[in-house]
């Protein structure tokens, strides 16, 4: 069943010149880019996007990282896209993520881990509404 998911290519990936590498992996998998924007995340959007993390001890550092530079926001679609993209990006901690995944191949950090992707249908709906309100159902 075709699904849509929200993907962020985080500021560390933009800074490192990995946007093409990451989009290429999504495209080669067979996923479709429905929308794509280069923009920065302000603190208000960070607090909404990471609502379930704002009380965590790491949140101030995460917020500073995510708002410090440009990122690429995308809506990606395809068969079981939500789970497929989560598998492609790998575990949260780049030091532990499996080789072959984006984080496993390209990140050595638990914070600067290159990509965000929605983790469930409810998250995808909520996050697409935040980042691409014109696409929200
Ligand atoms: O992104 P993912 O869903 O894999 O991980 P999460 O547990 O939902 O955490 C969201 C983001 O917070 C991670 O992708 C990291 O960038 C960041 N994080 C952090 O800075 N420090 C931690 N100890 C855990 C997560
Ligand atoms: Mg998460």
Going by pLDDT thresholds of 50, 70 and 90, the confidence category of residue 47 is: very high
Closest ligand 1 atom, CA of 86? Answer: 4
Cα–Cα distance for residue pair 20/10, rounded to 1 Å: 13
Domain boundaries, the chain: 2-135
Whether 37 lines ligand 1, by a CB cut-off of 6 Å, is: no
User: Which residue do the tokens 């191949």 mark?
Assistant: 105
Closest ligand 1 atom, CA of 89? Answer: 4
Lowest-confidence range among 11-15, 98-102, 133-137? 133-137
Q: What per-residue confidence (pLDDT) applies to 137?
A: 67
Q: What per-residue confidence (pLDDT) applies to 115?
A: 99
Binning the chain into helix, strand and coil, the percentages to the nearest 5 are 45, 20, 30
Mean pLDDT over all residues of the chain?
A: 98
108 burial type by CB count under 10 A (0-12 exposed, 13-18 middle, 19+ buried): exposed
Report pLDDT digits (tens) over 91-113. 999 999 999 999 999 999 999 99
35 burial type by CB count under 10 A (0-12 exposed, 13-18 middle, 19+ buried): middle
Domain 2-135: give its CATH code: 3.30.70.141
CA dist list (Å): 85 to 8, 20, 45, 74, 133: 11, 16, 22, 12, 21
Mean pLDDT throughout 122-126?
Answer: 98
Task: Look at the alpha carbons of 47, 51, 53, 56 in this order and tell me if their dihedral is positive or negative.
Answer: positive
Cα–Cα distance for residue pair 119/117, rounded to 1 Å: 6
DSSP 8-state code for residue 57: T
Whether 107 lines ligand 1, by a CB cut-off of 6 Å, is: no
Answer yes or no: is pLDDT of 52 > 80: yes
CA dist list (Å): 8 to 1, 37, 114: 22, 10, 8
Q: What per-residue confidence (pLDDT) applies to 136?
A: 82
53 is catalytic: no
Q: What per-residue confidence (pLDDT) applies to 1?
A: 87
Mean pLDDT throughout 126-131?
Answer: 98
Answer yes or no: is pLDDT of 44 > 90: yes
């Amino acid at each position: 069943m075709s699904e849509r998911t929200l993907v962020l290519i985080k500021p560390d990936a933009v800074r490192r010149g990995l946007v093409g590498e990451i989009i290429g992996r999504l495209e080669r998998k067979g996923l479709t880019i429905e929308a794509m924007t280069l923009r920065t995340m302000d603190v208000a959007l960070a607090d909404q996007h990471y609502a379930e993390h704002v009380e965590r001890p790491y949140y101030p550092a995460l917020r500073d990282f995510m708002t410090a530079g440009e990122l690429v926001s995308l809506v990606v679609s395809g068969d079981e896209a939500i789970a497929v993209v989560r598998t492609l990006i790998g575990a949260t901690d780049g030091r532990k993520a499996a080789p072959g995944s984006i984080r496993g191949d390209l990140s050595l950090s638990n914070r600067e881990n290159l990509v965000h992707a929605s983790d469930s249908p409810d998250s995808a709906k909520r996050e697409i509404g935040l980042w691409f309100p014109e696409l929200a159902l």
